[in-house]
Amino acid sequence: MEKAETLLSLQNISKDFYGNVVLQDVNFDVKRGEIIGLVGENGAGKTTLMRILFGMNVIRETGGYHGKVCIDGEEVHFQSPFDALDAGIGMAHQEFSLIPGFTTTENIVLNRESMRPSIFNDVFGDRMSILDRADMKARTVATIAKLGVNLDPDTLVSEMPVGHKQFTEIAREINREKTKILVLDEPTAVLTETEAEVLIKALRKLAAQGIAIIFISHRLHEVIEVADRVVVLRDGVIVKDTPTTGVTVRDIASWMVGRQVAADRADEAQRSFQEDILTVDGLWVDMPGETVKDMHFTVRKGEIFGIGGLAGQGKLGIPNGIMGLFPAGGKVKLHGKPVPLNEPRLALQMGMGFVSEDRRGVGLLLEESLEWNIAFTAMQIQDKYLKPILGGLFKIRDEAAMRTLTEGYIDILHIKCTSPAQKAMELSGGNQQKICLAKAFAIAPDLLFVSEPTRGIDIGAKRLVLDALYKYNRDLGMTIIMVSSELEELRSICDRVAIVDEGRITGILSPSADLAEFGLLMTGERVAKSTEDSNG
């Protein structure tokens, strides 16, 4: 077979979004019939790389890319995803792009339907042709056979189990005769173990037929199982490109997260904690895209407890669920008293605060003044910043007290603004984040949830935000649960770091633990093994 022939070659690909470099000198080749495992943390540049390969508009709109994409040795310039399709690149997306009300067949051959002419063709042209359903079905059956899976051509997509949707999506791509390269973005994320195994078999079968596959996944053991070669991206650079033979999951995990941070943790040795402040038992949260399944952990009074993990694995669901913003269930106890779930007001009244990851959506009143933003929660929950009028008949806002409060926080947190009356939307991201912190500090919570506190803000502001958290923890003994995608950040400030994968905590580590350990937990390798063991 012509297996050695290079099909796709990426040469010196670089891409920046307005000066923010996301890919730098990326080089790799894909051979005919080869399966490449592409791995990397969130934000490592995988998606951007695939977008370049696929000719997505967003790349051109943001200034294009540098380097060359060659297919069969010839340089190509895709103007749109259609060009990429014509050149033989197929992509199955993480979010299915299927039409729910159509059958498997209709979805697979969509826009490439078999037709036979009707009597109107002479007058109106090909658009009046009639669908040749028998042939469409035959083609579908052939495609499904090529994939080697069990898929009914007549089922509606809306009635399929999620695994079958994934197969339909892939079948649609390989139904094109020209498809030579198939890009699969997290194809197994929604599948069960057995479905994933079937998929992996199907992929091997496809590869044997000469189709090259780029397999993007966080499940490292699957990558090792299915891929011939693994390419590891980290911060936009390829750090490793090696055949999978002899590579262990642990190796890949440490390549993925491999930054060495000099953790400056002088006082760690002296930290000691007594009683538990929060116990979480069997928590589930139905937060779209961040589902929490069965969470168990305890947080001790006075500590900074970090929660990390890859995006979409459920770490954000924890604070949102406990604070009542998304439907949740299970047992949560604060100071030994049960926390009523799904009731934001009661959660706040019990002495918990929350800084949301969705700063502009949930965290701020963008059209209102900073005074309102900071004082509002304290006013509503604790009746602060109100003054009686008409001899105590009514209570109205105490604007002066609100101003004093706001000025205080502007001072402490170094918030850059023109006045406390400025609108929140006029502030920069970092300063908006400080307003969110101030809002949470203003209710003086015993336990503060901070979700992605440094997302989308610049380095200087990051430092200030982390320092503020550190200071409130050390000076006032405020217990903080910090949820963040940035492992480095968690390691720099937390006393313990829990890693979440697929809605469960896979392990709790000391911040000084080996990086590879974190990587393994993040990709769920550790827990997968331990559950298998316990099941016998």
Partner 1 sequence: MRSLKQFCADFGWPRIIIFFFLVALFIAAPTVGVRVDASLSDVFNRFGQNALFVLALVPMIQSGCGLNFGLSLGIIAGLLGATLSLQFGLHGAVGFFGALILASPFAILFGWLYGKLLNKVKGEEMTIAMYVGFASVMFMCIMWLLLPYTGHDMIWGYAGKGLRTTISVENYWSKILNDFLVIKSGPFFRFPTGEILFVLFAAGVMGLFLRTKTGTAMTAVGSNPDYARASGISVDKMRIISVIISTVLGAAGIIVYEQSFGFIQLYGAPLAMPFTAIAAILIGGASVNKASMLNVVVGAFLFQGLLTMTPSVINSALQTDMSEVVRIVVSNGIIIYALTRKTKVTK
Rounded to a whole number, what is the largest CA-CA distance in the chain?
93
Q: Which is nearer to partner 1, 235 or 398 (CB)?
A: 398
Q: Which is nearer to partner 1, 237 or 346 (CB)?
A: 346
- Nearest-angstrom CA–CA distance, 173 and 164: 14
| Smallest distance, partner 1 to C-beta of residue 372, A | 7
- Nearest-angstrom CA–CA distance, 137 and 131: 11
| Smallest distance, partner 1 to C-beta of residue 279, A | 23
Q: Which is nearer to partner 1, 184 or 328 (CB)?
A: 328
Which of 184, 214, 54 is CA-nearest to residue 65? Answer: 54
Q: Which is nearer to partner 1, 365 or 444 (CB)?
A: 365
Q: Which is nearer to partner 1, 250 or 384 (CB)?
A: 384
Which of 459, 470, 517, 513 is CA-nearest to residue 491? Answer: 513
Q: Which is nearer to partner 1, 340 or 456 (CB)?
A: 340
Reading the block at residue 136, the tokens are 């469409």
Strand order across the 20-31 sheet: 20-31, 6-17, 66-71, 74-75
| Smallest distance, partner 1 to C-beta of residue 396, A | 4
Q: 498: which strand partners? A: 307, 508
Q: Which is nearer to partner 1, 263 or 389 (CB)?
A: 389
| Smallest distance, partner 1 to C-beta of residue 325, A | 6
Identify the helix (H) or strand (E) that includes residue 147: helix 133-147
Q: 332: which strand partners? A: 280
| Smallest distance, partner 1 to C-beta of residue 427, A | 15
Q: How far apart are the first and last CA of the chain?
A: 42
| Smallest distance, partner 1 to C-beta of residue 392, A | 13
Q: How many residues does the chain have?
A: 536
Amino acid letter, residue 150: N
| Smallest distance, partner 1 to C-beta of residue 326, A | 11
Contacts of 408 (CB under 8 A, 6+ apart): none
| Smallest distance, partner 1 to C-beta of residue 519, A | 33
Q: Is the dihedral of CA 488, 490, 494, 497 positive or negative?
A: negative
- Contact set with partner 1 (CB under 8 A): 323, 325, 344-349, 354, 356, 358, 361-368, 372, 376-377, 379-381, 383, 386, 389, 394-397
For tokens 């977008």, the residue is 51
| Smallest distance, partner 1 to C-beta of residue 365, A | 5
- The DSSP code sequence of 498-530 is EEEETTEEEEEE-TTS-HHHHHHHHTTHHHHHH
* Contact call for residues 218 and 39 (beta carbons, < 8 A): yes
| Smallest distance, partner 1 to C-beta of residue 283, A | 19
- Nearest-angstrom CA–CA distance, 170 and 205: 13
Decide: helix, strand or coil at residue 260. Answer: coil
Reading the block at residue 289, the tokens are 């895209």
Decide: helix, strand or coil at residue 217. Answer: coil
- Nearest-angstrom CA–CA distance, 217 and 525: 13
89-91-92 Cα angle (round to 5):
155
Continuous H helices in 62-101: 81-86
| Smallest distance, partner 1 to C-beta of residue 40, A | 32
Q: Which is nearer to partner 1, 53 or 325 (CB)?
A: 325
Q: Which is nearer to partner 1, 110 or 396 (CB)?
A: 396
| Smallest distance, partner 1 to C-beta of residue 394, A | 6
For tokens 């003994």, the residue is 477
Radius of gyration, alpha carbons of the chain: 27
Continuous H helices in 42-95: 46-54, 57-61, 81-86
Report the 10 Å Cβ neighbour count for 458. Answer: 11
